[in-house]
């Protein structure tokens, strides 16, 4: 447990607390306002499928811009430098574009209400149940980690006891989600996005000014223990753990860029749910594509401050040089705030951090209640009730999810490294899920049995690689072990699925229309141009092309 | 207006603009009365002042956007007929 008196304590004054309090008034106000729009379960779980694309697009990235992203990526920035951008430019953008261009028509077009429900339609009950339960379990565990991290930060920064901040944060998130459902979560995510930018952008600019601009930063990092390779993104040996530069590039592109990130962004219901809430097919496809534009610039306000902190904050520079000290990389952004921001802006920066931590937890809970109500309770436990029963179920599922999250936060508090393990384990669930999805969407011969057997064997493979690397049989430092594990899970899942498919009976073609690429007429896969969808800047594929081109340019400039 | 309905219950742009606008005013005022020691802390930039002004500009843009393109979606999304 962290000490009450910490060198990270920020001297927040009345004005900072006013800024923080104001934000929470708005958060709860949005929950209250959104409540008026909720009249049935579809309103609650999918915002009545009525939101404009820029709202769902910002929510799409904001749901992911939680504690793990901001603290983790700035820590990675402080430790590894520029190669961390791969988590964004290689590890997120291509997958987000793929989701919008290729996969969204199946999700939105088939009118399923969740990702597990797509599994049900394509592969039947066993695969559905495996997916729904592992997803629900993962969400409450991650929500607990987010909650604990939030409480830790409040404890260190402001000195509140851990248990008080856990409960206060849980109550706030709970109130706005039970009131307004997904709309409240999404609207708050959009608000959070702007507050996070307003908090981190000034920090980055002041930091850059302090080190003497971009050139000053390059000089300082080159002179530091990191050396000049920390200022260029490729080949990123330190990040991937491969000594060989060629293998490192392959590892990053295939492991991180293909399997891990495609698995995460295209099958994770927390993300996909945001797109499902949009008003029509065109808006649904544009959701991840619009999100990709701000996403490609997030590294500049998350990773760059981390790099700056490692060269100008004395305690952190000392830690980087000697490997010991009172602080570590996770504190990078907090130390920079402490050293650079005057009261006022400091309050806003704390608000931004709190906002981002709550965003993560709210996203977990709002997808947990949907899967719990639609996929587990309605499907297997209490069937055929009127709609308002499931609306109430959703509200109670949120309450239950929050209580469980308080419990899992307590578990999380016992393990200092739990977050890393969770991250790895859940990325292992995603890699096989992606393999099953992609095969199922493009190969109509794939059978129901192959669906769940492939899923289970892929996950088992990932866990095996994880155990081997933990016990030292495979030795890959950095993030290399999870890249390899994800790759192996993906390959095994595909192989097993193909093998099982050849031995079992496929579903009838007529049952797969709208679910499999070759059996879905083109008209059903593309959007009808609706009123309000005109203009070249609203065409999904063109927008995706622009986004991809910009990402390539960024890779070249910062390569 | 018979075939139009307000999208959702409120316009999120106005909510965002209000919060950022209040922050902008508070920070700008803080920036104007800022002590030199605080400015030195931020490497010589009066970050409260500039940040506050930046937020006020952002607020103006968002309010303008909401004014120029108010939300109103058709009750059912029919294919465009033009």
Per the CB < 8 A criterion, the answer to whether B7 and B72 are in contact is: yes
pLDDT(A255) > 60: yes
Q: Which of A34, A37, A342 sits opposite B38 (nearest CB)?
A: A342
CB contact under 8 A, B34 and A339: no
Per the CB < 8 A criterion, the answer to whether A370 and A181 are in contact is: no
- pLDDT for residue A140: 87
Question: Which residues of chain A are within 8 Å of residue B38 when distances are taken between CB atoms?
Answer: 342-343
A235 upstream amide cis, omega within 30 of 0: yes
Which segment of A197-211, A416-430, A436-450 scores lowest on mean pLDDT?
A416-430
- Structural domain for B11, as ranges: 4-71
- pLDDT for residue A486: 81
- pLDDT for residue A318: 80
pLDDT(A167) > 80: yes
CB contact under 8 A, B15 and A530: no
Quickly state the pLDDT bin for B6 (edges 50, 70, 90): very low
- pLDDT for residue A492: 93
In a domain, B81, yes or no: no
pLDDT(A166) > 70: yes
Per the CB < 8 A criterion, the answer to whether A359 and A63 are in contact is: yes
User: CA-CA distances (angstroms) from residue A23 to A29, A103, A351, B58?
Assistant: 10, 36, 7, 17
pLDDT(A534) > 80: no
What percentage of chain A exceeds 90 in pLDDT? 7
Which segment of A185-189, A247-251, A454-458 scores lowest on mean pLDDT?
A247-251
pLDDT(A3) > 50: no
- The stretch A349-360 carries a mean pLDDT of 85
Question: B56 to chain A: nearest residue by CA?
Answer: A198
Lookup result for tokens 């939105």: A108
**pLDDT tens per residue, range A112-128:** 888 888 888 888 888 88
Which segment of A195-204, A451-460, A462-471, B56-65 scores lowest on mean pLDDT?
A462-471
pLDDT(B78) > 60: no
Chain B: give the shortest CA distance to residue A210, in Å: 5
Choose from A254-258, A513-517, B7-11, B16-20 the range with maximum mean pLDDT: B16-20
Chain A: give the shortest CA distance to residue B64, in Å: 16
The average confidence (pLDDT) of chain A is 82
- pLDDT for residue A423: 61
pLDDT(A254) > 90: no
In a domain, B82, yes or no: no
Question: Which residues of chain B are within 8 Å of residue A202 when distances are taken between CB atoms?
Answer: 47, 50-51, 54
Count of domains observed in chain B: 1
**pLDDT tens per residue, range A280-319:** 888 889 899 999 999 989 999 999 999 898 888 888 888 7
Interface probe for B, chosen from A31, A184, A342, A535 (most Cβ of B below 10 Å), is: A342
User: CA-CA distances (angstroms) from residue A70 to A133, A165, A205, A402?
Assistant: 28, 19, 17, 23
pLDDT(A13) > 90: no
CB contact under 8 A, B12 and A190: yes
Question: Which residues of chain A are within 8 Å of residue B22 when distances are taken between CB atoms?
Answer: 22
- Please state the three-class secondary structure of B5-68 as a single string: ECCCCCCHHHHHHHHHHHHHHHHHHHHHCCCHHHHHHCCCCCHHHHHHHHHHHHHHHHHHHHHH
Assembly ipTM: 0.81
- pLDDT for residue A528: 63
Q: Which of B15, B27, B74 sits opposite A344 (nearest CB)?
A: B27
- pLDDT for residue A421: 62
In a domain, B48, yes or no: yes
Quickly state the pLDDT bin for B58 (edges 50, 70, 90): very high
- pLDDT for residue A139: 86
CB contact under 8 A, A530 and B45: no
Say which CATH superfamily domain A14-557 falls into.
Sodium/glucose cotransporter (1.20.1730.10)
- The stretch A462-466 carries a mean pLDDT of 85
What b-and-e string marks burial along A239-258, b requiring 16 or more CB atoms within 10 Å of the CB?
Answer: bbbbeeeeebbbbbeebbbb
Domain ranges of chain A: 14-557
Which segment of A89-93, A362-366, A427-431, A485-489 scores lowest on mean pLDDT?
A427-431
Question: Which residues of chain B are within 8 Å of residue A348 when distances are taken between CB atoms?
Answer: 23, 27, 51
In a domain, B78, yes or no: no
In a domain, B30, yes or no: yes
Q: Which residue has the higher pLDDT, A276 or A523?
A: A276
pLDDT(B5) > 50: no
What percentage of chain A exceeds 70 in pLDDT? 90
Question: A15 to chain B: nearest residue by CA?
Answer: B26
- pLDDT for residue B54: 92
Question: Which residues of chain A are within 8 Å of residue B50 when distances are taken between CB atoms?
Answer: 202
- pLDDT for residue B7: 43
In a domain, B77, yes or no: no
């Amino acid at each position: 447990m962290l000490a009450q008196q910490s060198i990270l304590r920020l001297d927040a004054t009345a004005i900072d607390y006013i800024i923080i309090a104001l934000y929470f008034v708005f958060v709860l106000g949005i929950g209250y306002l959104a409540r008026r729009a909720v009249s049935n379960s579809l309103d609650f779980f999918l915002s009545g499928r009525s939101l404009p694309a820029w709202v769902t697009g910002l929510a799409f990235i904001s749901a992911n811009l939680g504690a793990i992203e901001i603290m983790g990526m700035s820590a990675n920035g402080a430790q590894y430098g520029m190669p961390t951008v791969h988590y964004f430019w290689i590890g997120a953008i291509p997958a987000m574009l793929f989701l919008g261009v290729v996969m969204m028509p199946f999700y939105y077009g088939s009118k399923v209400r969740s990702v597990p429900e797509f599994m049900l339609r394509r592969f039947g009950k066993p695969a559905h149940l495996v997916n729904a339960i592992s997803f629900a379990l993962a969400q409450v565990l991650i929500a607990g980690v987010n909650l604990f991290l939030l409480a830790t930060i409040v404890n260190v920064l402001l000195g509140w006891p851990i248990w008080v901040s856990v409960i206060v944060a849980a109550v706030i998130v709970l109130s706005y989600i039970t009131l307004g459902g997904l709309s409240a979560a999404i609207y708050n995510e959009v608000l959070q996005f702007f507050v996070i930018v307003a908090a981190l952008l000034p920090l980055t600019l002041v930091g850059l000014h302090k080190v003497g601009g971009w050139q000053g930063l390059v000089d300082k990092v080159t002179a530091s223990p990191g050396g000049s390779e920390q200022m260029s993104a490729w080949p990123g040996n330190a990040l991937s753990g491969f000594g060989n530069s060629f293998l490192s590039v392959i590892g990053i592109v295939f492991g991180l860029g293909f399997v891990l990130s495609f698995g995460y962004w295209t099958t994770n219901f927390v993300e996909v749910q945001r797109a499902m809430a949009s008003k029509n097919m065109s808006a649904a496809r544009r959701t991840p594509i619009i999100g990709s534009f701000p996403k490609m610039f997030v590294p500049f306000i998350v990773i760059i401050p981390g790099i700056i902190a490692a060269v100008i904050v004395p305690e952190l520079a000392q830690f980087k040089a000697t490997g010991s000290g009172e602080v570590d990389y996770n504190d990078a952004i907090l130390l920079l705030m402490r050293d650079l921001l005057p009261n006022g802006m400091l309050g806003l920066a704390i608000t931004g951090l709190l906002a981002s931590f709550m965003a993560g937890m709210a996203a977990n809970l709002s997808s947990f209640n949907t899967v719990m109500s639609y996929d587990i309770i309605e499907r297997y436990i209490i069937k055929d009730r009127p709609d308002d029963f499931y609306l109430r179920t959703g509200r109670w599922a949120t309450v239950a999810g929050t209580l469980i999250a308080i419990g899992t936060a307590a578990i999380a508090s016992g393990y200092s490294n739990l977050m890393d393990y969770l991250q790895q384990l859940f990325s292992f669930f995603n890699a096989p899920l992606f393999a099953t999805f992609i095969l199922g969407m493009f190969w109509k011969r794939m059978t129901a049995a192959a669906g769940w057997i492939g899923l289970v064997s892929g996950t088992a493979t990932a866990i095996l690689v994880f155990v081997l690397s933990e016990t030292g049989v495979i030795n890959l430092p950095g993030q290399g072990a999870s890249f390899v594990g994800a790759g192996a899970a993906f390959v095994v899942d595909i192989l097993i699925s193909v093998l099982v498919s050849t031995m079992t009976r496929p579903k009838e073609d007529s049952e797969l229309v709208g679910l499999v690429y070759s059996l879905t007429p083109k008209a059903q896969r593309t959007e009808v141009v609706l009123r309000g969808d005109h203009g070249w800047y609203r065409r999904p594929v063109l927008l995706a092309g622009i986004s991809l081109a910009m990402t390539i340019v960024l890779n070249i400039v910062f390569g | 207006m018979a075939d139009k309905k307000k999208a959702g219950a409120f316009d999120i742009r106005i909510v965002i603009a209000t919060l950022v606008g209040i922050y902008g005013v508070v920070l700008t005022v803080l920036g104007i009365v800022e002590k030199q020691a605080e400015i030195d802390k931020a490497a010589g930039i009066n970050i409260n002042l500039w940040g506050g002004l930046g937020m006020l500009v952002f607020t103006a843009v968002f309010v303008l956007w909401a004014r120029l393109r108010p939300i109103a979606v058709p009750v059912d999304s029919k294919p465009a007929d033009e």
